[in-house]
Amino acid sequence: MNQRVVLVVNGQSKTLDLTSEASLLQVLRNDFLLNSPKYGCGLGECGSCTVLVDGQATRSCVVPATQVEQRRITTLEGLSFAGAIHPIQQAFIEQQAAQCGYCLSGMIMMTVSLLMRNPNPELEQIKNELSGNLCRCGTHIEILRAVKRAIELCSSSSPDDLFKPLTCDLN
C-alpha cells in the first residue's frame, strides 16, 4: 500500500505516494530527477549513493524514503554556495580527483560531512572516514589531495556560511 509523504530535498519539497520499499536513492533519482547519487552496490557498502540527511552522511540506497519525511536532505546538486560551486567541489576539480567520476558525489558528500564535524582533520581521520567509499578507478591518492585542498579552501570561510544552509531548521 502506498503512503503519502512530503520530502524536502535541496530546499525543494514534493508530496509523493510511495511504497514502503522505495529507497531514498530511487526517489531522488526518479522523482526529484537528481543524478548525482549513484546506484553502486545497493547494499550500503560502496558509498556511491551517499547524501546528507540533516547533515549526516547517509547511504540512500538502504534508507526507505518514507522514513525521511520532513528531514533536510541534501545531494551534491544542493551544495551550491552563494551562486557558485561549493569550495569542496572546487577542490576536487582542482586536484582532478576523478576518472569515471562514478564515486565522486559520494566522496564529496562524505567530505562535507567530515568537515562539518572537524574543519581540520588529520590524514588518518580523512582516510578512516572515506574508507567505506569505494573508487573502482583507484583515484584514492587524488581524492585525498582534494580533501586536503578542500580544508585549505574552506578555512577562509566561516563554517556557518559553508555548512549552516545544509543543516538549519526547515521552518
Q: Which is nearer to ligand FES, 93 or 168 (CB)?
A: 93
- Residue 49 is a binding residue for ligand FES (CB under 6 A): yes
**H helix runs in the chain, sequence order:** 24-30, 87-94, 104-117, 123-130, 140-154, 159-167
What residues have CB less than 8 Å from 93, skipping those under 6 apart?
85
Interface map 57-86 toward ligand FES (x if CB under 6 A): --x-x-------------------------
d(CA 140, CA 63): 27
Residue 37, H or E segment? none
Q: Which is nearer to ligand FES, 6 or 137 (CB)?
A: 137
User: How would you classify residue 43: left for phi > 0, otherwise alpha for psi between -120 and 50, otherwise beta?
Assistant: alpha
Residue 61: CB minimum distance to ligand FES, A = 3
Site for ligand FES in 104-163 (CB under 6 A): 135-137, 139
Residues forming the site for ligand FES (CB under 6 A) = 39-42, 44-49, 59, 61, 98-103, 135-137, 139
